[in-house]
C-alpha cells in the first residue's frame, strides 16, 4: 500500500508540473528522470515499515549552490519571486545538482529568452558544475543576461565573482568599480554593489593592496 501511494504521488507531481505549472516539454524528460531517481533511491534506502526517527540532512560542504542563489536574489526585487522555472532550478542548485539545474533552465529559456534572472541562474549553475571555472557556456549565459537587461548588474557581478575564484582579483575589482560608477543613483542594487566593492577592497588591502593606478594588477 505504501508503494502505491508513493508512485501515485510521483504521478500527480509530474502532471502538476507538466500541466498546472506549464513545465516546458524540453524539461519533461529531465523532471521525470528526477522523479524516477528519487523513487530508485527510496527503493534502495527507505524502510517504510519502520518508525520514523529525526535525522539531520547532510549539509553541502561548501554551500556554494545556496550561496549563489541568495547572492543572485539579492540583486533583484526580493518581494517578487522569479519565474517558477527559476524557483525549481534553484531547488536543484541548493542540493548541488548543477547539471540538472542547468538543463532545466535551458528549457525555460527556450520558453522565455528574455528572462534575465534565468540567464544568470544558468551561468551560475554552469560555473558551479565546472568547479568554479568560467567556461565558455557560462560566459555565454552571462552575456545573454546582460543583453536582456543592460542596466542590471548581475552579469558583471557574477563575472567578477568568477574572476575572483580564478585568482584575478584586480580584474574583478575594476569590473565592480565600473558597475558602481555607472549605476544610477536611484538603483536599488547600488548600495549592495558598493558594499561588495568595499569588502573586496578590504580583502585586497589585507593581502597587500592593489595599486589604484593599475587596478588590473595582482595584489602587491
Q: pLDDT of 82-102, one tens digit each? A: 988 899 999 999 999 999 999
**Same structural domain, 39 and 71:** no
Q: For residues 21 and 77, which has the higher predicted lDDT (pLDDT)? A: 77
Quick one: pLDDT band at residue 137, thresholds 50, 70, 90? very high
The secondary structure of the chain, three-state, reads: CHHHHHHHHHHHHHHHHHHHCCCCHHHHHHHHHHHHHHHHHHHHHCCCCCCCCCCCCCCCCCCHHHHHHHHHHHCCCCCCCCCHHHHHHHHHHHCCCHHHHHHHHHHHHHHCCCCHHHHHHHHHHHHHHCCCCCCHHHHHHHHHHHHHCCCCCHHHHHHHHHHHHCCCHHHHHHHHHHHHHHCCCCCCCHHHHHHHHHHHHHHHHHHCCCCCCCCCCCCC
**Same structural domain, 33 and 68:** no
**Same structural domain, 71 and 155:** yes
Q: Is residue 90 part of a domain?
A: yes
Structural domain count, the chain: 2
Using the 3D structure, point to which of 166, 197, 215 is the last residue of a domain.
166
Q: Is residue 192 part of a domain?
A: no
Quick one: pLDDT band at residue 220, thresholds 50, 70, 90? very low
Residue ranges making up the domain that contains 160:
64-166
| pTM higher than the cut 0.75 | no
**Same structural domain, 71 and 132:** yes
**Same structural domain, 72 and 152:** yes
**Same structural domain, 9 and 92:** no
**Same structural domain, 91 and 146:** yes
**Same structural domain, 77 and 125:** yes
Amino acid at each position: 500500500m505504501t508503494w502505491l501511494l508513493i508512485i501515485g504521488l510521483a504521478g500527480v507531481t509530474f502532471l502538476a508540473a507538466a500541466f498546472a505549472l506549464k513545465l516546458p516539454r524540453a524539461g519533461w524528460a529531465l523532471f521525470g528522470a528526477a522523479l524516477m531517481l528519487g523513487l530508485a533511491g527510496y527503493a534502495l534506502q527507505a524502510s517504510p515499515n519502520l518508525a520514523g526517527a529525526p535525522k539531520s540532512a547532510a549539509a553541502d560542504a561548501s554551500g556554494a549552490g545556496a550561496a549563489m542563489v541568495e547572492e543572485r536574489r539579492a540583486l533583484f526585487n526580493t518581494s517578487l519571486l522569479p519565474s517558477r522555472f527559476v524557483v525549481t532550478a534553484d531547488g536543484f542548485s541548493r542540493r548541488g545538482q548543477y547539471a540538472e539545474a542547468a538543463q532545466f533552465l535551458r528549457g525555460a529559456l527556450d520558453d522565455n529568452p528574455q528572462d534575465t534572472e534565468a540567464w544568470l541562474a544558468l551561468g551560475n549553475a554552469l560555473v558551479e558544475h565546472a568547479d568554479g571555472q568560467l567556461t565558455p557556456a557560462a560566459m555565454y549565459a552571462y552575456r545573454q543576461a546582460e543583453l536582456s537587461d543592460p542596466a542590471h548588474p548581475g552579469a558583471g557581478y557574477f563575472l567578477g565573482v568568477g574572476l575572483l575564484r580564478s585568482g584575478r582579483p584586480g580584474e574583478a575589482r575594476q569590473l565592480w568599480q565600473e558597475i558602481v560608477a555607472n549605476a544610477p543613483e536611484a538603483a536599488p542594487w547600488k548600495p549592495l554593489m558598493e558594499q561588495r566593492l568595499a569588502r573586496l577592497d578590504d580583502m585586497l588591502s589585507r593581502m597587500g593592496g592593489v595599486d589604484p593606478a593599475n587596478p588590473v594588477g595582482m595584489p602587491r
